[in-house]
Amino acid sequence: MHPSRTLERDLAALADEEHALFTLADLAALLPGHPPGAFKTLVSRVAANGGLERLCRGLYLFPQAGYPADLVLYHAAARLRANTFNYLSLESVLSDAGVISQVPMNWITLMTAGRSGRIACGRFGTIEFIHTCKTPERLHEALSYDPRCRLWRASVAQALEDMRDARRNLDLIDWNAAHELV
């Protein structure tokens, strides 16, 4: 059987509505023994034929799994920075809480112990990471785990503090709503 068909067959057996994001390392495990250059070419061909959808460098979605599109950015952020302290904050948390009037469309914001940066994820949107020096020990009371997003989430008070610390625009904040939640 051709390696691309083998890859798609194995992905169809493994992927489901909960697990459909794969790194290159995940995919490489399905085809051991392929040289790295040939493997990357194979993955590119499978993506070009619609068997995989490239989200960003090194991360792919298996579209046939029926993965919920509204969670792709959150789960992609969790996979991309799995070994780094990250948490949802800033406009993402404040919008969800109704503290800012505009809802960021296809854009999520996270604080990270890693590097700042924006990662474009195709039709799904953008993930923005903002560096922080704050430690999990310092923030443990201000964070809660969101199992749906698979990420830690800041409280409204922490998100407001992060907005100030990151020097983000505070003009959209409804301070009356913020004070009710803090």
If asked whether residues 102 and 117 sit together in one domain, one would say: yes
If asked whether residues 149 and 74 sit together in one domain, one would say: yes
First to last CA, the chain: 60
- Distance CA(125)–CA(58), nearest Å, equals 16
Angle at the Cα of 127 (from 126 to 131), degrees rounded to 5? 140
* Packing angle, helices 3-14 and 36-48, rounded to 10: 70
Tens of pLDDT along the chain (182 residues)? Answer: 688 888 889 999 989 888 999 999 999 998 888 888 888 899 999 999 999 999 999 999 999 988 899 999 999 999 999 999 999 999 999 999 989 977 678 999 999 999 999 999 999 999 999 999 999 999 999 999 999 999 999 999 999 999 999 999 888 888 877 778 77
- CATH code where residue 43 lies: 1.10.10
Range of the domain at 31: 3-67
If asked whether residues 14 and 80 sit together in one domain, one would say: no
Full strand arrangement of the beta sheet holding 143-146:
117-120, 126-131, 107-112, 86-88, 151-154, 143-146
If asked whether residues 54 and 132 sit together in one domain, one would say: no
If asked whether residues 45 and 74 sit together in one domain, one would say: no
If asked whether residues 32 and 91 sit together in one domain, one would say: no
If asked whether residues 42 and 115 sit together in one domain, one would say: no
If asked whether residues 90 and 160 sit together in one domain, one would say: yes
The residue to which tokens 């004070």 are assigned: 179
Amino acid occupying residue 37: G
Helix (H), strand (E) counts: the chain: 8, 9
- Distance CA(126)–CA(30), nearest Å, equals 28
- Distance CA(136)–CA(150), nearest Å, equals 16
If asked whether residues 175 and 101 sit together in one domain, one would say: yes
